[in-house]
Homo-oligomer: A and B are copies of this chain.
Amino acid sequence: MKIAILGYGTIGTGVYEIIQQYTASDLQDLEVVKVLDLPQNKDKLDIITSDINDIVLDPQIDCVVEVMGGIHPAYEFISAALTNKKHVVTANKAVVAAHIEEFTALANKNGVRFLFEASTGGGIPWIASLKKAKRIDDIHHFYGIFNGTGNYILDAMTRQGKDFDVVLKKAQELGYAEADPSADIDGYDVQNKVVISSAVAFNALVDMKEFLCYGIRNITKADIEYFKNLGFTIKYIGEATMNQNHYEAFVMPNLFDQSAVEANINSNFNIATLNGQSIGPLKFYGQGAGKLPTANAIVQDVIDIECPHTAYNLDFSNQLTYKAVQKNAFVIRTNTKVEDVNINKVEEVASNYYLHTKEIDADALRELVDKCNDKGVFVAKVAKFEG
């Protein structure tokens, strides 16, 4: 199979290295024939072009690997590749989450595959495992730690007792967090991954504007300490549930018992859990980001293109609407002493109030948080996952 890579940054270099330098037999009929990068980088590699038409119009190319990131021009380039009957493999969660249904339709129309394992969970075989589980079971629920940067920050705060700002700065120095960390700490990154995972798990498009999303930007050392004293470890969770014609999703910090598997996922690792009626719970753990793990996931997709049972394109046959159904207990830390029928218990710690809610649905939680009217509010859910 002849491959073109769009983008020769960290991940693109990793894909090139694995395909061209690794010796495993499944890699032997793969070849990188062109790489798209900026004109000034042409001397890095003799197959670099800066003209996308050199790739999408080249009849020898079977598969285009997109690792540029961002929506534009990734959207236009993926569309052009699919239209020209090239399989597309991408790691770009933003463009996948925004256009997954359109790309799938275009791939189906042109008889090629659209694959995106590396967009969610990095090196973890999460998307392929969801697809594999669905060969037998229905999947009605999944959850996981999908953001390595967020986990790195919470883990360092928890185990080293450091402040949020100090840990975020360290994450930026290590290359785990970007200069603008908003996607990681305000939940957009995990929202994208919940949309992508839901598409695979539920055959449906879910709308990230509908579901609850609270980030970790406002968490303090005092919050970590408060919850630790209650026996909880805080982890940043994305999850979704399908219930007949409805879905529900949450992106928010969760409070886990210290002996839960998720509570013991350290550093920047990810873990994701699916649950099927015959298989029960399955968990998948690994590197959620990084050059070689992400490149590995991309190359796995390329190899899978020949397997109809794992590399199929999605269908979006289920029309699901958002509905707040599940009841959960939440804890809200705020500077206002809010009184409400849904609050069970209030604890004051150093001029802050920890409001422990009854088991309430997402709509009731939103109302409570609005009532706090506190820009620095921190909201967490008491985890109650099975398995």
Interface centre among A134, A260, A293 (most CB of B within 10 A): A293
A210 interface residue per 8 A CB criterion? no
CB pair B278 A286 closer than 8 Å: no
A226 interface residue per 8 A CB criterion? no
Q: Number of A interface residues, CB 8 Å?
A: 50
A268-298: contact bitstring with B at CB < 8 Å (1 yes, 0 no)?
A: 0001000011111111111100101101100
A57 interface residue per 8 A CB criterion? no
Determine the main DSSP class of A at the interface with B: mixed
Q: Which of A108-149 contact B (CB under 8 A)?
A: 123-125, 129, 132, 134-138
Distance from A297 Cβ to chain B, minimum over Cβ atoms (Å): 8
How distant is the Cα of A261 from the Cα of B26 in the complex, in angstroms? 32
A347-371: contact bitstring with B at CB < 8 Å (1 yes, 0 no)?
A: 0000000000000000000000000
CB pair B280 A136 closer than 8 Å: no
A257-268: contact bitstring with B at CB < 8 Å (1 yes, 0 no)?
A: 001110111100
How distant is the Cα of A271 from the Cα of B276 in the complex, in angstroms? 17
A42 interface residue per 8 A CB criterion? no
How distant is the Cα of A263 from the Cα of B259 in the complex, in angstroms? 9
Residues of chain B contacted by A14 (CB below 8 angstroms): 278
CB pair A279 B293 closer than 8 Å: yes
A94 interface residue per 8 A CB criterion? no
Q: Return the chain B residue nearest A306 by Cβ.
A: B309
